[in-house]
Amino acid sequence: DTEVTQTPKHLVMGMTNKKSLKCEQHMGHRAMYWYKQKAKKPPELMFVYSYEKLSINESVPSRFSPECPNSSLLNLHLHALQPEDSALYLCASSQDRRRQETQYFGPGTRLLVL
């Protein structure tokens, strides 16, 4: 399996809702990433997990809460989001962050906050 999968593909939520995004990879990668991408812009890094430990938090608001339950799974818990948080949320993985290996992206979750 050489793919990163993400669920759901689309998500619409109100500002008071709580939802979660899920990412999974079975390539044995030990680094996993969350990115936010607005239309016609490059992906913006949000969080990096390395060997299931949070190693980078790019000063992301606390309404976004990442979780890495095991080496294959990465979640992003959403709570009290704002309309400006509407974007494509991409998950990525790489073999090992320390060795600058290629990052492989999932298909993304398109989030709309009303």
- Which residues bind to other proteins, rule: CB under 8 A? 31, 40-43, 45, 48, 50, 55-56, 90, 94, 96-108
Separation between Cα atoms, residue 35 and residue 43, nearest integer Å: 6
Alpha helices in the chain (DSSP H): none
**103 secondary structure, DSSP code:** P
Q: How far is the CB of 15 from other proteins (least distance, A)?
A: 25
- Of 34 and 79, nearer to other proteins (C-beta) is 34
Q: How far is the CB of 33 from other proteins (least distance, A)?
A: 8
Burial of 35 (0-12, 13-18, 19+ CB in 10 A): buried
Q: How far is the CB of 58 from other proteins (least distance, A)?
A: 9
Question: What distance in Å separates the CA atoms of residue 13 and residue 3, rounded to the nearest whole number?
Answer: 27
Q: Which is nearer to other proteins, 42 or 69 (CB)?
A: 42
Q: Which residue lies nearer to other proteins by CB, 5 or 82?
A: 5
